[in-house]
């Protein structure tokens, strides 16, 4: 079907394969490969994008459903080569390892902070529960969210202890 | 400038330097193999066996071949290539028989993924289903069907492995130390028990993916998510009898690996499809479901432990029998078996030991390397058993462990003498125990217990591991100076998330006395351009590659000093340098910048001397030996990293439900290169270990069908499953041959998490847990089915 969608501020008008997901549309048609495919089944959250301001698993939405919608992906998070505050906090707190879950994780954190600028640890855990990460054990991601929401200082930052 | 203004010898090592790959990964700009698309690229799909063991009677591919857009269809009959890391036992596509559920029996390459999916659906396979061999102990029965009747004819690495033709055993590793009979005769107590754990999945967020192009003239290029480009190339070339210089392996960013992407996987099949399709690149990415059964997993283990203890609480003898379920193919499992055998007793001083470690074929997806390389599995039994033995002899489990820990002068199971530089397991154990207030409940914990009605228990467990690698494992680094004086480091150790690129940047910067901003570690790995590295496995990268990088920096500086000596009319001994320039020590104003020397120095009149500054460093593991096949004696260990975990668990004694309040873990890493990335490795491993401890497991029906190949039915931990508190502790006993004194810690945080948890649950409730994962229902059953501890005592002092 013919569709029109705004992605990262650009209007795309495209013929889209009816059974394709938004994830395949973004990655294969628009070549926005920053959004990752970890399971194609809504289990891992690696493909999380913002659809009309809401975080969704792009593998669980048909591309056709995004007709007329606004989509934001990781490619729009940094502006003019400058990392966003969320991205910078991830970097400061070692919240990235292999990086494959990172795009989806940043999207979920963004949605969380838009609704709840100072989330508690429990709320952060709830907010990123749908995003699996196999490398970090999540802790440094949680610390990054506390950091970017102004709830951590150099003293309370989680650190390595030496004996 | 005087020497006092020079940067200190270690300006970055030990500091929280931010990861060098952050920006690319945070913006979606990092390219993974799964992101790559090439002109003319075809998409592959495979037809998979729905049976665990069956004869392939016929495969009809005619409908698939006739589907428009299909460019190649292959079955095993057309392919006469076999692959295998240590035992060459796997056909590129199943031939005549299938050996596990999910095995590939046919493959197609088509113009789109959608067409490829339709094409495999059109392939008809006729099977004669056979009863599968599903339990590795049953597979040892002499009447058991053989998974590989031709085992005796397979090629294998003879220096390290011992296949037993006519059986289901592709390897038996033996360790013999001291006099086992005398040790048990001397013992006051003998305690015997069996511990088990199932297969589990690595679950990298990026599933296995590769693109292969086999062009005319046998020019092969492989882009892959593999961990080890040179080993992949070597195995590929062996299978196809191609010279190494015909095959190029490129590894872009890798989305997690954990051992599951070591070795070789679907690259040979994609190569055959490409060749058949006229040399077009062919891409395949496993679905999450395929990741569970088309690709390998971690082996299951049954561990039988018999421990003799003297009146003083010292272990006098240990008989350790390991039965590893390698699944349908030997792959890494034979080496997991070997590496586990020589570590099998843990970081303890065991004067008399006997280890028989069997790798056993069954009709299940095959086992491969997984973070910890066998140690997560056998430490489950070992550290549960230590707890049981302590209880039997009436000693506190911490004291029992401390009494038996390795110390300077002790020898390992293979006869290696431990010294004060090997590392300090005692300090790790004490740090972990102290971090959880082991042995008592704090007033807050007592109050919490009273308030919730849930019981709080504390458990500890030790661990050790040395890299499992050939005795002669080598690596190299090349460091090239750019014309502005910045440098690029080429290594073949892949960045799979562990932080290699960052710590190599720090080490190179410090050795050169440069700021980190002037050092770049190349992102992609490329066997045509990078110097050799054996594999990115085994927690050996930091030590081996670190030493090679230091040597490369020294080589580059040596060349720069030679050129500078000529320019400055000095001898090299008269020179020193800072981050910008080389200068004469006694007249620092006489200097030449690195930038001016970088691609050859130019005199004012236009004369040039020197040339591009390129440093080469090599490093080979020093002094290691093969193990004697009958006794297992020898020197297998590059270094030993010791560690310990402490866990505080809270258990509902009515239901068996539990949560982890705290996990605290200590590792003797020699020297922390980067606290942030080390902590990341630790927490990541601890939580991955907690996942396999709490819930992860392959579940089969009685015909060998895998029932839970998804992240819904085989859950890994989410952020909500974290302990309330996580603490990481570094111990720094310098490794004498380690770069800046460092040794590896990539795998270790995952080892022994499970027994520390089970020991805490045991402390809280008395539940005797011998199978992992430990689900709430297992705790409930264990609470309600307690047997007296003397059930497992086969020798005890007369009362």
Tell me which chain B residue has its CA closest to the CA of residue A162.
Answer: B730
Q: Which tokens hold the place of B441?
A: 């409940």
> Which residues between 134 and 153 in chain A have a beta carbon less than 8 angstroms from any beta carbon of chain B?
134-142
Per CATH, is B300-469+625-795 categorized as 3.30.365.10? yes
Q: pLDDT digits over B667-696, tens only?
A: 999 999 999 999 999 999 999 999 999 999
Where are the domains positioned within chain A?
A: 2-76, 85-148
| Cβ–Cβ < 8 Å for B231, B534 | yes
d(CA B347, CA B406): 6
Print the SS3 string covering B314-377.
CEEEEEEEEEEEEECCCCCHHHHHHHHHHHCCCCECCCCEEEEEEEEECCCCCECCCCCCCHHH
| A124 chain-B contacts, CB cut-off 8 A | 719
Q: What is the pLDDT of residue B309?
A: 98
Beta carbons of B730 and A163 less than 8 Å apart: yes
Give the pLDDT of residue A154. Answer: 67
In SS3 terms, B11-60 reads as: CCCCCCCCCCCHHHHHCCCCCEHHHCCCCCCEEEEEEECCCCCEEEEEEE
Q: What is the pLDDT of residue A156?
A: 67
By CB neighbour count within 10 A (0-12 exposed, 13-18 middle, 19+ buried), where does B572 fall? middle
Measured in angstroms, the CA of B25 and the nearest CA of chain A are apart by 5
Nearest CA in chain B to A27: B35
Indicate the SS3 state at residue B667: strand
Q: Give chain B's count of helices (H) and strands (E).
A: 18, 32
Assess whether pLDDT exceeds 60 at residue B9.
no
A10: number of Cβ within 10 Å: 9
Please determine whether the domains at A2-76 and A85-148 fall in the same fold group of CATH: no
B29/A36 Cβ within 8 A: no
Instruction: Report whether B100 contacts B294 (CB < 8 A).
Output: no
Backbone CA torsion sign across A122, A124, A129, A132: negative
Domain A2-76 has CATH 3.40.50.300: no
Is the Cβ pair B288, A101 closer than 8 Å? no
Which residue, among A20, A83, A100, would best test binding to B if mutated, counting the most B CBs under 10 Å from its CB? A100
**Contact state of A159 with B679 under an 8 Å Cβ cutoff:** yes
Q: Is the dihedral of CA B172, B178, B182, B188 positive or negative?
A: negative
DSSP state of B626: P
- Partners of residue A18 in chain B, C-beta under 8 Å: none
Q: Phi first, then psi: what are they for B202, rounded to 5°?
A: -70, -40
Compute the count of residue pairs across chains A and B with CB atoms less than 8 Å apart. 197
| Domain segments of chain B as ranges | 3-26+474-533+541-620, 49-132, 208-285, 300-469+625-795
Residue B89 pLDDT level (bands cut at 50, 70, 90)? very high
Residues of B in contact with A96 (CB under 8 A): 19, 21-22, 25-26
- Chain B environment of A161 (Cβ under 8 Å): 727-730
Q: How far is A74 from chain B (nearest CA, A)?
A: 6
Residue B209: pLDDT above 50? yes
Question: Within its chain, how far is the Cα of A160 from the centroid?
Answer: 27
The rounded percent of chain A whose pLDDT value lies above 70 is: 98
Residue-wise pLDDT for A107-138, tens only, equals 999 999 999 999 999 999 999 999 999 999 99
Q: How many Å separate Cα B706 from the centre of its chain?
A: 24
Contact assignment for B722 to A138 by CB distance below 8 Å = yes
Mean pLDDT over each residue of chain B, to the nearest integer: 97
Angstrom CA distances, B665 to A160, A163, B687, B761, stand at: 11, 12, 11, 17
Inter-chain contact B205–A134, Cβ cutoff 8 Å? yes
**Is A33:B28 a contact under the CB 8 Å cutoff?**
yes
Q: What is the CATH number of domain A85-148?
A: 1.10.150.120
Interface list for A 11-40 with B (CB within 8 A): 17, 27, 31-40
Q: pLDDT at position B388, please?
A: 98
- Which chain B residues contact residue A85 at CB under 8 A? none
Which tens digit of pLDDT belongs to each residue from B160-173?
999 999 999 999 99
Q: Which of A 35-74 lie inside 8 A of B, CB atoms?
A: 35-41, 43-44, 46, 73-74
Residue of A38, A135, A159 with shortest CB distance to B684:
A135
| Cross-chain residue pair B679–A158, CB shorter than 8 Å | yes
**Please, which pLDDT band fits residue B241 given cuts at 50, 70 and 90?**
very high
Predicted-complex ipTM score: 0.98
**Which tens digits make up the pLDDT trace of A42-66?**
999 999 999 999 999 999 999 999 9
Topology (CATH level 3) of domain B208-285: Aldehyde Oxidoreductase; domain 4 (3.30.365)
Task: Name the band, by pLDDT with cuts 50, 70 and 90, for residue A22.
Answer: very high
What pLDDT is stored for residue B10 in this prediction? 57
Under 8 Å CB-to-CB from B370, ≥6 apart: which residues?
B200, B202, B258, B259, B260, B297, B298, B376
Among A36, A40, A128, select the one facing B719 at the smallest CB separation: A128
Residue keyed to tokens 């879950």: A101
Name the fold adopted by B3-26+474-533+541-620: Aldehyde Oxidoreductase; domain 4 (3.30.365)
Task: Cite the DSSP H helix spans in B489-593.
Answer: 500-512, 541-568
Test B29 with A129 for CB contact under 8 angstroms.
Answer: no
Q: Which of A37, A97, A145, A162 to mutate to test the interface with B (most CBs of B within 10 A)?
A: A97
Q: Which residues of B touch A147 (CB under 8 A)?
A: none
* 3-state SS, one letter per residue, for B270-314: HHHHHHHCCCCCEEEECCHHHHHHCCCEECEEEEEEEEEECCCCC
pLDDT of residue A155: 64
- Best CA proximity match to B401, nearest among B380, B431, B429, B434: B429
Separation CA B625–CA B621 (nearest Å)? 10
Are residues A90 and B32, on separate chains, in Cβ contact within 8 Å?
Answer: no
pLDDT at B3: 39
List, for residues B366-407, the tens digit of each pLDDT value.
Answer: 999 999 999 999 999 999 999 999 999 999 999 999 999 999
Identity of the residue in B28, B203, B666 whose CB atom sits nearest the CB atom of A103: B28
User: CB–CB of B719 and A131 under 8 A?
Assistant: yes
Alpha-carbon distance values, A71 to A16, A51, A140, B294 (Å)? 16, 5, 28, 35
pLDDT at position B2:
36
Can you give the pLDDT at residue B799? Answer: 72
Query: Mean pLDDT over all residues of chain A?
Result: 96
Look at B687 and A137 and tell me if their CB atoms are within 8 Å. Answer: yes
Output the pLDDT for position A153: 76
- The Cα-based distances of A16 to A28, A42, A65, A67, B726 in angstroms read 11, 21, 11, 10, 47
| pLDDT value of position B25 | 98
Say which of A33, A99, A132 has its CB closest to residue B25.
Answer: A99
Task: Please give the residue of chain B at the shortest CA–CA distance from A123.
Answer: B720
Contacts of B649 (CB under 8 A, 6+ apart): B456, B457, B458, B459, B658, B659, B660, B661, B757, B760, B761, B764
B492: distance to nearest CA of chain A, Å?
A: 17
pLDDT in tens, B59-77: 999 999 999 999 999 999 9
Average pLDDT over residues B780-791: 95
Does the bond joining B434 to the residue before it have cis omega, within 30 degrees of 0? no
Asked if B255's CB is within 8 angstroms of A100's CB, the reply is yes
Write out the H or E segment, with its range, that includes residue B521: strand B519-521
Domain B49-132 has CATH 1.10.10.10: no
Interface touch B205/A73, C-beta < 8 Å: no
Residue of B637, B643, B646, B639 lying closest to B730 (CA atoms): B643
Beta bridge partners of B355: B175, B320
**How far is Cα B334 from Cα B186, in angstroms, rounded to an integer?**
34
On whether any CB of chain B is under 8 Å from the CB of A85, the answer is: no
For B24, which residue in chain A has the nearest alpha carbon? A99
| C-beta pairs of B62-66 under 8 Å, 24+ apart in sequence | B63/B122, B63/B123, B63/B124, B64/B108, B64/B119, B64/B120, B64/B122, B64/B123
What confidence tens digit (pLDDT) does each residue in B349-375 have?
A: 999 999 999 999 999 999 999 999 999
Residue B81 banded pLDDT, cuts 50, 70, 90: very high
Residue of B nearest to A43 (CA): B711
Domains B3-26+474-533+541-620 and B208-285 alike in fold = yes
Is residue A138 within 8 Å of A128, Cβ to Cβ?
yes
Look at residues B239, B227, B211 and name the one whose alpha carbon lies nearest to residue B92.
B239
pLDDT at B322 over 50: yes
| Candidate from A91, A93, A132 with C-beta closest to B718 | A132
CB B582 within 8 A of CB B564: yes
Nearest to B537 by CA among B494, B578, B601: B494
The pair of structure tokens assigned to B303 is 């561990």
């Amino acid at each position: 079907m013919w569709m029109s969608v705004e992605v990262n501020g650009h209007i795309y008008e495209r013929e889209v394969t009816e059974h394709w997901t938004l994830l395949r549309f973004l990655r294969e048609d628009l070549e926005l490969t920053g959004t990752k495919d970890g399971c194609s089944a809504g289990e891992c959250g690696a493909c999380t994008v913002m659809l009309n301001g809401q975080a969704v698993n792009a593998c669980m939405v048909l591309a056709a459903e995004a007709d007329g919608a606004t989509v934001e992906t990781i490619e729009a998070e940094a502006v003019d080569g400058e990392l966003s505050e969320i991205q910078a906090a991830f970097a400061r707190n070692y919240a990235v390892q292999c990086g494959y879950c990172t795009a989806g994780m940043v999207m979920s954190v963004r949605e969380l902070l838009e609704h709840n600028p100072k989330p508690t640890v429990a709320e952060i855990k709830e907010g990123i529960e749908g995003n699996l990460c196999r490398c970090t054990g999540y802790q440094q991601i949680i610390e990054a969210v506390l950091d970017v929401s102004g709830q951590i200082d150099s003293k309370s930052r989680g650190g390595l202890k030496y004996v | 400038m005087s020497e006092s203004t020079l940067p200190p010898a270690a300006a970055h090592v030990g500091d929280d330097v931010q990861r060098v790959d952050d920006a690319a990964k945070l913006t979606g700009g990092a390219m993974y193999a799964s992101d790559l698309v090439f002109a003319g690229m075809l998409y592959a799909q495979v037809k998979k066996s729905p049976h665990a063991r069956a004869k392939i009677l016929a495969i009809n591919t005619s409908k698939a071949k006739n589907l428009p857009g299909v460019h190649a269809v292959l079955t095993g009959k057309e392919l006469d290539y076999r692959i295998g890391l240590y035992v060459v036992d796997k056909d590129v596509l199943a031939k005549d028989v299938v050996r596990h559920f999910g095995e590939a029996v046919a493959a197609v390459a088509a113009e789109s993924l959608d067409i490829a999916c339709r094409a495999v659906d059109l392939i008809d396979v006729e099977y004669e289903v056979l009863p599968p061999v599903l339990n590795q102990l049953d597979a040892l029965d002499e009447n058991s069907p053989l998974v590989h009747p031709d085992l005796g004819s397979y090629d294998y690495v003879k220096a390290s492995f011992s296949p037993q033709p006519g059986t289901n055993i592709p390897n038996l590793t033996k360790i013999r130390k001291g006099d086992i009979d005398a040790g048990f005769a001397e013992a006051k107590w003998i305690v015997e028990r069996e511990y088990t754990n199932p297969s589990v999945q690595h679950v990298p967020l990026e599933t296995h993916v590769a693109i292969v192009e086999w062009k005319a003239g046998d020019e092969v290029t492989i882009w892959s998510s593999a961990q080890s480009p040179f080993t992949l190339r070597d195995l590929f070339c062996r299978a196809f009898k191609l010279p190494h210089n015909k095959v190029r392996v490129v590894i872009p960013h890798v989305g997690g690996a954990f051992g599951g992407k070591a070795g070789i996987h679907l690259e040979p099949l994609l190569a055959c499809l490409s060749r058949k399709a006229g040399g077009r690149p062919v891409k395949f990415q496993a679905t999450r479901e395929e990741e569970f059964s088309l690709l390998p997993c971690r082996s299951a283990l049954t561990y039988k432990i018999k421990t003799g203890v003297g009146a003083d609480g010292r272990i006098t003898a240990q008989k350790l029998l390991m039965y590893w379920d390698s699944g349908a193919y030997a792959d890494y499992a034979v080496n997991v078996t070997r590496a586990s055998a020589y570590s099998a007793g843990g970081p303890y001083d065991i004067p008399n030991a006997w280890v028989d470690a069997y790798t056993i074929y069954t009709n299940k997806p095959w086992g491969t390397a997984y973070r910890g390389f066998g140690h997560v599995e056998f430490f489950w039994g070992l550290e549960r058993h230590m707890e049981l033995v302590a209880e039997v002899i009436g000693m506190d489990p911490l004291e029992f462990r401390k009494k038996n820990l390795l110390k300077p002068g002790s020898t390992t199971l293979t006869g290696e003498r431990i010294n004060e530089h090997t590392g300090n397991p005692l300090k790790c154990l004490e740090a972990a125990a102290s971090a959880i207030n082991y042995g008592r409940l704090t007033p807050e914990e007592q109050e919490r217990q009273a308030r919730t009605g849930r019981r709080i228990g504390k458990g500890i467990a030790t661990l050790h591991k040395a890299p499992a690698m050939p005795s002669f494992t080598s690596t190299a680094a090349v460091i090239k100076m750019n014309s502005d004086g910045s440098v690029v480091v080429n290594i073949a150790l892949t960045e799979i998330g562990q932080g290699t690129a960052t710590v190599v940047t720090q080490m190179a910067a410090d050795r050169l006395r440069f700021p980190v901003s002037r050092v770049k570690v190349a992102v992609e790995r490329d066997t045509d351009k990078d110097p050799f590295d054996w594999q990115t496995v085994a927690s050996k990268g930091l030590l081996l590659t670190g030493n090679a990088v230091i040597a490369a920096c020294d080589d580059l500086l040596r060349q720069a000093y030679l050129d500078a000596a000529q320019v400055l009319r000095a001898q090299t001994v008269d020179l020193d340098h800072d981050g910008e320039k080389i200068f004469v020590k006694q007249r620092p104003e006489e200097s030449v910048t690195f930038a001016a020397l970088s691609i050859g120095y130019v005199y004012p009149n236009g004369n040039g001397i020197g040339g591009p500054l390129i440093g080469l460093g090599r490093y080979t593991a020093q002094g290691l030996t093969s193990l004697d096949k009958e006794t297992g004696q020898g020197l297998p260990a590059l270094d030993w990293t010791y560690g310990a975990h402490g866990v505080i668990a809270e258990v509902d004694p009515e239901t068996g439900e539990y949560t982890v309040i705290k996990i605290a873990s200590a590792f003797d890493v020699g020297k922390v290169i980067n606290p942030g990335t080390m902590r990341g490795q630790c927490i990541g491993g601890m939580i991955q270990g907690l996942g396999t401890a709490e819930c992860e497991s392959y579940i089969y029906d009685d015909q060998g069908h895998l029932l839970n190949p998804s992240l819904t039915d085989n859950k890994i931990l989410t952020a909500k499953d974290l302990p309330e508190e996580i603490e990481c502790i570094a111990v720094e006993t310098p490794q004498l041959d380690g770069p800046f004194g460092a040794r590896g810690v990539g795998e270790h945080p995952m080892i022994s998490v499970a027994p520390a948890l089970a020991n805490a649950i045991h402390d809280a409730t008395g539940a005797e847990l011998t199978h992992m994962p430990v689900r709430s229902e297992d705790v409930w059953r264990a609470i309600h089915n307690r047997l007296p501890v003397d059930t497992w005592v086969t020798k005890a002092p007369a009362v």
